[in-house]
Amino acid sequence: MRSLVEETMLSPADFIAPLFVVDGKGAPEPIASMPGVMRYNVADLVKECRALAKLGVPAVALFPKLDAKFKDDAGTAALSEDALVLRAVRAVKKAVPALVVMTDIALDPYTAHGHDGVLTADARDVANDATVEILVKMAVLHARNGVDFVAPSDMMDGRIGAIRKALDAANYEQTAIMGYSAKFASAYYGPFRDAVGSAAAAGTRSLDKRTYQLNPANRREALVEVALDEAEGADILMVKPAGAYLDIIREVRNATLKPVAAYQVSGEYAQIQAAAKMGWLDLERTRHESLIAIKRAGADMILTYFAKEMAAVLKK
């Protein structure tokens, strides 16, 4: 009887799996602040993608972790034809062509200072327009290498429109854009910064990005940003983080007919894992409840580090 009247259900097709890739041929590297999450070399990343596809997970989002020697203040390595993430994309698309591959369009994995763009002359802020110019080139480069969705996570003004225009001009009309449309300056990003090395580059896990990410206190501003991304041509509108922003997810769902994504970020994942390890929460039930809440709030798809294990449970 309970199942007959259940209003919200999860399936493997709801999930996008964020995956971290590193250079070399070493064994998968555990990320201490994200139990169960690994950095994979390209060959092992392909194996992980095959496993996810077999479980019915339709998409992955790839994030590179570069050696510090490849980073500089301008994020130069982001525009390399031989960039680590592009080698990973080519390998995954060759091995699992039906899997949707998304890539992060932002400079934080590539900059020595850890910010999502290049800095102003006084180094007190990110230079919006100069950053957008680089992101446009980066998006076209990724499209050329077979990416299905470019996902600008930088929160620069005007970048969705500029990227859409450049993709179309380069004959990549079929390359879609998932906008990090309402991305908040959240305290929940610390473990991710460990994972991609932007924390180490900056010397702090709490790098201040409040000049370009959203104020967690602001609901109306988030809706303005989402409306701008939709008007500029974003195909999917994302809210990030998810768990502490369920009201924003619902507001966005009510405001648009576009698909809505939500990112259950590293800190959300880590706190559930930590509490479960201490015996304070039931991992399986809390994991499921956290994800059902995000979908109930209105998300059509969820980026989550629980994607593989949840898909395995739901597929049974």
What CATH number does the domain containing 44 carry?
3.20.20.70
pLDDT tens across 270-304, in order?
999 999 999 999 999 999 999 999 999 999 999 99
pLDDT of residue 202: 44
* Structural domain containing residue 127: 3-315
pLDDT average, residue stretch 97-123? 95
Question: pLDDT value at position 207?
Answer: 76
Residue 276, pLDDT score: 98
Tell me the catalytic residues: 183, 240
Q: How many structural domains is the chain composed of?
A: 1
Q: Which two three-digit tokens encode residue 248?
A: 């924003």
Residue type, 48: E
Measured in whole angstroms, the distance separating CA 184 from the mean position of its chain's CA atoms is 13
Cβ burial of 278 (10 Å; 0-12, 13-18, 19+) is: exposed
Q: How many CA atoms lie within 13 A of 278 on its CB side?
A: 7
Cβ of 146: how many Cβ atoms within 10 Å? 16
Output the pLDDT for position 203: 46
d(CA 245, CA 276): 22
Q: Which of 110, 19, 104, 112 is nearest to 57 (CA)?
A: 19
Element of type H or E holding 39: strand 38-40
